[in-house]
Amino acid sequence: MKIQTKPYNPLDNLLTDSDIPGYLSEAFEDSDPAIFVTALGHVVKHKGVANIANQAGLNRESLYKMLSGKSQPKWDTVQRILKVLDIHFKVAA
């Protein structure tokens, strides 16, 4: 008998806006920068790519391309997205 499975959607775990900063912080601490970009993509998709692109002054198609891993985002692009999401990182020692 085959076991029925369904794809895991990380957005299912982003139930509230208060979960998003912790999710991104954990991803940012990973040694692989692609993990953070992937997590940021999850959040952007959760919030609506067209909406985020419009508010950040970005091209929607370019944002999709960046989030798909087909291109690496520039830091200013990441900053613009974080600003729209009202996410602030702090450096601590």
The one-letter amino acid code at 14 reads L
pLDDT digits (tens, 9 = 90+) for 9-66: 666 666 678 889 998 999 999 999 899 998 999 899 888 899 999 999 999 988 988 8
**Separation between Cα atoms, residue 75 and residue 93, nearest integer Å:** 22
pLDDT digits (tens, 9 = 90+) for 81-91: 999 999 998 88
DSSP for residue 70? S
Answer yes or no: is 84 within a domain. yes
* Whether the Cβ atoms of residue 49 and residue 67 lie closer than 8 Å to each other: yes
Answer yes or no: is 24 within a domain. no
* Whether the Cβ atoms of residue 53 and residue 45 lie closer than 8 Å to each other: no
Answer yes or no: is 51 within a domain. yes
Structural domain boundaries enclosing 40: 31-93
Question: Average pLDDT over the chain, rounded to whole?
Answer: 87
Copy the structure tokens of residue 40: 């940021």
**Separation between Cα atoms, residue 35 and residue 33, nearest integer Å:** 5
CATH number of the domain bearing residue 56: 1.10.260.40
Answer yes or no: is 42 within a domain. yes
DSSP for residue 19? G
pLDDT value of residue 6: 81
How many domains, in total, are found in the chain?
1
Answer yes or no: is 40 within a domain. yes
